[in-house]
Amino acid sequence: MIPPIEKTEDFADCLALRLAVFVDEQKVPVEEEVDDLDPVATHFIARDAEGRPVGTARIVEIDGTGKIGRVCVAREHRGTGLGAALIEACLAELRLRPHLTRAKLGAQTHAIGFYARFGFEPVGAEYLDGGIPHRDMVMPL
């Protein structure tokens, strides 16, 4: 069962999960994981039955675009549909903001196919983010 996803002000739990996934597992430098967008972002969190954070994502608005980022799922919840549910929650929130015209994200290259299922299309060249190959992807809202 996919745990419920909620908007949250509890940034500490979102950050704890991001640090576990991105910094500890994927070896992203911690100084690249935390940025000045976190205080202005809308954060989403999914918690397991015991209340532990198991999925998170954020959205920020940049020049008429809703940018989805920092999407991660705890190892034991991968493959359950939670990642897709997080993307759907982010897109649903962005669609409530009529001044936004498109959604954008930076996809790890191995996940391009995953995001394409939602209608995202790759744009631009591959680049490194946190030492991991990425491509930007966009879709109209």
Give domain limits for the chain. Answer: 5-100
Q: Diameter of the chain by CA atoms?
A: 42
User: If you average pLDDT over residues 36-40, what whole number do you get?
Assistant: 94
Check whether 89 has a pLDDT greater than 90: yes
For residue 129, give every residue at least 6 positions away whose Cβ sits within 8 Å of its Cβ, in sequence order, or none: 32, 106
Query: What is the pTM for the complete model shown?
Result: 0.94
Distance from C-alpha of 118 to C-alpha of 85, rounded to nearest angstrom: 11
Q: What digits encode the pLDDT tens for the residues 44-79?
A: 999 999 999 999 999 999 999 999 999 999 999 999
DSSP string, 51-86: S-EEEEEEEEEETTEEEEEEEEE-GGGTTTTHHHHH
For residue 93, report the phi and psi dihedrals to the nearest 5 degrees. Answer: -65, -45
Check whether 1 has a pLDDT greater than 90: no
Q: Which CATH number fits domain 5-100: 3.40.50.720, 3.30.70.60, 3.40.630.30, 1.20.1560.10?
A: 3.40.630.30
Check whether 31 has a pLDDT greater than 90: no
Among all chains, which residue has been given the structure tokens 């920020």? 60
